[in-house]
């Protein structure tokens, strides 16, 4: 029997066990200080002012919409049950259930956000026929439903639409029950019995969201931190799973892990620790919220020891629900590089905030993508109408990540790509279109020899073939890919519709020098272009204007942009006679004084063989009249775009080619020949590295 002396003796007290969230012990159990609490209040105030929280009216509208969709899918299942000859009792008991996941389920959605929803139905209701055909037709007849877009061939098949203006991403899962229980526990592993992998992926959206909320120590702090970091990722251009960055579930898993490592921290501390931890994270070490559940039902789980493909993942972020998968398999070496740079930026700003040297608004300054690179790929997408453009754009956007991987592979990682996850529209164009951009640069620290080439012709051609595989292609769906220099970027990519001054460091006392003009073509020296500028000077001397251009160069770390070396085209469009294909010496240049869109395109009349860059010979092809880009003809939907291309692809006169770096069309025009999709090969680039140059 223990005496009372033994209870209050001199023995040291036993420390209370530290609660462990996740696979490791916490880094710190520190509670927030008064300063941390105040910074958290300031952060939440900033998020409210930024409009990241929806109103009560919109929240009520979302609940009403979900209720209406629940009623629609229940009636849909009852109708199919009756048609398949089941008993009246079965028809009465038949139902489907709607579950939510994603930002709505996690409580971090904002105004205008979509609702990720899962419809769970009985075993005899299929996805391919019943969901994407019967239910699709039911929804198409509803006046509340707009912008209906089925995507049956996606990794996770989905039907997208708006219901009374609320965007919905609806998935379907058929479970092995004749009657779906009204109290179905979707977190229970039994729902995965006897289902296929697309169904598992559909179910796991909800299962992962539920697990995240169970594995974080403080849900409220988690939601505030996640809302903040999602907003930050969008402002810094790293929020997009489809283009190789991180999507909503990826950011949720990373934030949840930080919450586990700092269980008592306030949101301001969690944001700061997020950047501190992930700037030092040794990828590809995985981020996991819990131990990986071993294989139970035969589904593949993420395990680089067993699965060779898992060893190629650059930034593994593992889902916590069985079967555990890498949710960030889309990340490439280039997009990981971009994200690590942005993590470092966030870490630097947070350090200043903690020292009261900066405010929260500084963390969310937008990333100046179009001032960050010298070379870009521009991908223009055209369609017959807005509905066709929506589906066509979705397909092309899903393949842009492959283009990044192809370029990385074909240049052995020496050329880095930065696909920007935002599309841009030129409002002056009458046709339905948009454009994506990708920054290009030589890998930092890479030693290259003078004259070494980055040949991405094969990459572009492979990208063309992948685009041609679109099974829902319609006439009018076309794509143009072109290489553009920074000075040639179209004005519509800038927020105010006009290009910002290249001279970022001018003070009011410093003069702003005018651009020189050669033969009526505006030319402004690129930063770091002094090597080629002197070499290209017609008199062989360094002109006064050249010296002025060099003096006002804003970035001395940037070097010469690559030359674009043309090549003869190896193939032509099926159905086009060779007499229709002219010699192509049409190097594009953008007159910076005009308001033209800068869209690079190429009709079949002006596709041909291009002479080697540096040749002074040229042939006039097409109309050089600047007003031709303003055509409003309704006979050809894309006439304005093609005329604009004809305007921008003027043939350089003798000697002019020496002064201007060409803009070379490197893409493909999709055509319809007798109702069959075909394509024309278009000029592809070979990027040559000159002495001391940087791509």
At 154-200, the pLDDT tens digits run 889 999 999 999 999 999 999 999 999 999 999 999 999 999 999 99
Is 636 flagged in the annotation as binding?
Answer: no
- The whole-number pLDDT of residue 344 equals 98
- The whole-number pLDDT of residue 458 equals 85
| Residue 448 banded pLDDT, cuts 50, 70, 90 | low
What span, in angstroms and rounded, lies between the C-alpha atoms of 629 and 426?
13
| pLDDT of 380 above 80 | yes
Q: Classify domain 56-212 at the CATH topology level.
A: Beta Polymerase; domain 2 (3.30.460)
- The pLDDT > 70 percentage for the chain reads 67
- The whole-number pLDDT of residue 529 equals 33
- The whole-number pLDDT of residue 497 equals 59
Three-state DSSP class for 338?
A: helix
What span, in angstroms and rounded, lies between the C-alpha atoms of 320 and 313?
18
Measuring CA to CA, which residue among 111, 138, 130, 113 is closest to residue 50? 111
Is 463 flagged in the annotation as binding?
Answer: no
Is 487 flagged in the annotation as binding?
Answer: no
pLDDT, one tens digit per residue, over 2-33 is 343 333 444 554 544 566 788 999 999 999 99
- The pLDDT > 90 percentage for the chain reads 58
The domain limits of the chain are: 56-212, 216-363, 369-445+455-488
CATH of domain 369-445+455-488: 3.30.70.590
| Residue 78 banded pLDDT, cuts 50, 70, 90 | very high
Q: Could you identify the residue written with the tokens 């080439």?
A: 453
Strand extents, DSSP E, 620-663: none
Is 692 flagged in the annotation as binding?
Answer: no
- The whole-number pLDDT of residue 154 equals 85
Structure tokens at 627: 């007003």
- The whole-number pLDDT of residue 451 equals 64
| Residue 450 banded pLDDT, cuts 50, 70, 90 | low
| pLDDT of 60 above 80 | yes
Number of residues that make up the chain: 695
CATH of domain 216-363: 1.10.1410.10
pLDDT, one tens digit per residue, over 627-645 is 333 333 333 334 443 444 3
Instruction: Enumerate the active-site residues.
Output: 103, 114, 116, 169, 230, 239
Lowest mean pLDDT among 240-254, 522-536, 679-693: 522-536
Is 665 flagged in the annotation as binding?
Answer: no
Is 398 flagged in the annotation as binding?
Answer: no
Q: How many Å is the maximal CA-CA distance in the chain?
A: 108
Three-state DSSP class for 135?
A: helix
Q: Does 477 or 608 have the greater pLDDT score?
A: 477
pLDDT, one tens digit per residue, over 546-575 is 444 443 333 433 322 233 322 222 232 333
φ, ψ of residue 276 to 5 degrees: the values are -65, -40
Is 476 flagged in the annotation as binding?
Answer: no
| pLDDT of 378 above 90 | yes
Is 103 flagged in the annotation as binding?
Answer: yes
Say what the pTM is: 0.73
Three-state DSSP class for 323?
A: coil
Are the CB atoms for 489 and 376 separated by under 8 Å? yes
pLDDT, one tens digit per residue, over 503-524 is 433 333 333 222 222 222 222 2
Is 387 flagged in the annotation as binding?
Answer: no
- The whole-number pLDDT of residue 17 equals 56
């Amino acid at each position: 029997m223990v005496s009372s002396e033994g209870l209050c003796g001199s023995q040291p007290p036993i420390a209370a066990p530290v609660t462990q969230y996740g696979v490791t012990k916490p880094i710190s159990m520190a509670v927030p200080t008064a300063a941390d609490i105040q910074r958290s209040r300031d952060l939440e105030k900033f998020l409210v002012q930024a409009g990241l929280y929806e109103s009560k009216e919109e929240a009520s509208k979302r609940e009403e919409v979900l209720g209406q969709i629940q009623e629609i899918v229940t009636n849909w299942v009852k109708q199919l049950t009756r048609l398949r000859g089941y008993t009246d009792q079965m028809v009465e008991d038949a139902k489907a259930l709607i579950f939510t996941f994603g930002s709505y389920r996690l409580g971090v959605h904002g105004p205008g956000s979509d609702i990720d929803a899962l419809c769970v139905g009985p075993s005899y209701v299929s996805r391919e026929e019943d969901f994407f055909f019967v239910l699709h037709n039911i929804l198409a007849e509803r006046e509340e439903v707009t912008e209906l877009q089925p995507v049956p061939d996606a990794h996770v098949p989905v039907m997208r639409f708006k219901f009374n203006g609320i965007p919905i991403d609806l998935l379907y899962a058929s479970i092995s029950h004749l009657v779906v229980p009204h109290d179905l526990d979707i977190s229970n592993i039994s729902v995965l019995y006897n289902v296929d992998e697309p169904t598992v992926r559909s179910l796991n959206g909800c299962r992962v969201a539920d697990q995240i909320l169970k594995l974080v120590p403080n849900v409220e702090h988690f939601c505030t931190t996640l809302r903040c970091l999602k907003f930050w990722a969008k402002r810094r251009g790293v929020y997009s799973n489809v283009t190789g960055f991180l999507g909503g579930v990826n950011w949720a898993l990373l934030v949840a892990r930080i919450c586990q490592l700092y269980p008592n921290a306030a949101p301001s501390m969690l944001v700061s620790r997020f950047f501190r931890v992930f700037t030092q994270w040794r990828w590809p070490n995985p981020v996991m919220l819990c131990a990986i559940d071993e294989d139970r039902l035969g589904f593949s789980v993420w395990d680089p020891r067993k699965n060779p493909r898992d060893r190629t993942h650059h930034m593994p972020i593992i889902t916590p629900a069985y079967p555990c998968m890498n949710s960030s398999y889309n990340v490439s070496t280039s997009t990981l590089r971009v994200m690590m740079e942005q993590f470092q930026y966030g870490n630097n700003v947070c350090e200043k905030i903690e020292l009261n040297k900066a405010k929260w608004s500084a963390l969310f300054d937008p990333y100046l993508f179009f001032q960050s690179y010298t070379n870009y790929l521009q991908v223009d997408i055209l369609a017959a109408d807005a509905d066709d453009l929506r589906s066509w754009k979705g397909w092309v956007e899903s393949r842009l990540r492959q283009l990044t991987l192809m370029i990385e592979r074909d240049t052995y990682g020496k050329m880095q790509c930065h696909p920007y996850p935002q599309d841009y529209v030129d409002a002056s164009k009458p046709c339905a279109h948009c454009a994506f951009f990708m920054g290009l640069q030589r890998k930092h620290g890479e030693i290259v020899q003078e004259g070494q080439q980055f040949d991405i012709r094969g990459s572009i051609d492979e990208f063309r073939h992948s685009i041609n595989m679109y099974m829902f292609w319609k006439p009018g769906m076309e794509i143009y890919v072109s290489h553009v220099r920074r000075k040639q970027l179209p004005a519509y990519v800038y927020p105010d519709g006009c290009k910002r001054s290249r001279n970022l460091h001018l003070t009011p006392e410093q003069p702003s020098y005018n651009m020189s003009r050669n033969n009526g073509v505006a030319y402004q020296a690129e930063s770091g272009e002094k090597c080629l500028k002197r070499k290209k000077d017609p008199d062989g001397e360094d002109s006064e204007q050249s010296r002025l251009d060099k003096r006002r160069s804003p970035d001395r770390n940037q070097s010469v942009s690559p030359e674009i070396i043309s090549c003869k085209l190896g193939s032509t469009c099926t159905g086009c006679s060779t007499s229709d294909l002219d010699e192509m010496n049409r190097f594009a240049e953008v007159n910076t004084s005009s308001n033209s869109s800068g869209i690079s395109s190429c009709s079949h009349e002006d596709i041909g063989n291009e002479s080697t860059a540096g040749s002074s010979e040229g042939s006039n092809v097409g109309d050089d009249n600047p007003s031709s880009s303003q055509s409003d003809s309704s006979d050809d939907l894309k006439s304005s775009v093609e005329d604009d291309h004809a305007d921008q692809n003027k043939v350089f006169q003798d000697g002019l080619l020496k002064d201007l770096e060409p803009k070379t069309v490197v893409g493909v025009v999709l055509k319809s020949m007798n109702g069959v999709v075909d394509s024309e090969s278009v000029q592809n680039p070979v990027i040559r590295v000159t002495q001391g140059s940087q791509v």
